[in-house]
């Protein structure tokens, strides 16, 4: 059994930390709750988010996978009148 010293442990921890950065970054960007005003009735509603596959691709293929987010958000649907538009 190989002996794991302090330097190896530090390298492992730093590597894990670096791997965590894109995940936290993508989740914070895609999970933001942005409110927009409905162009038909003026009610404030939550902006349409990204699909689960876009978030998955962005994390798995970081940073190239970020291009998946360029495919755009899902349309926003007004909670009051049901009007759908691309916000």
Residues at the site binding Zn ion, with contacts judged by CB under 5 A:
38, 40-41, 43, 78, 80-81, 83
> What's the min distance (Å) between Cβ of 37 and Zn ion?
9
Tokens representing 25 are 């970054």
Residue 46 beta carbon to Zn ion: minimum distance, rounded to whole angstroms: 12
DSSP string, 3-19: ---HHHHHHHHHHHHHH
How many angstroms separate the CA atoms of 74 and 64, rounded? 21
Minimum separation from the CB atom of position 40 to Zn ion (A): 5
């Amino acid at each position: 059994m190989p002996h794991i010293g302090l330097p190896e442990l530090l390298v492992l921890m730093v590597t894990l930390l670096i791997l965590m950065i894109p995940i936290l970054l993508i989740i914070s960007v895609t999970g933001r709750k942005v409110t927009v005003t409905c162009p038909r009735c003026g009610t404030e509603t939550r902006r349409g988010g990204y699909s689960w596959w876009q978030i998955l691709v962005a994390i798995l293929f970081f940073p190239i996978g970020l291009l998946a987010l360029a495919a755009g958000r899902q349309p926003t649907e007004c909670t009051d009148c049901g009007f759908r538009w691309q916000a």
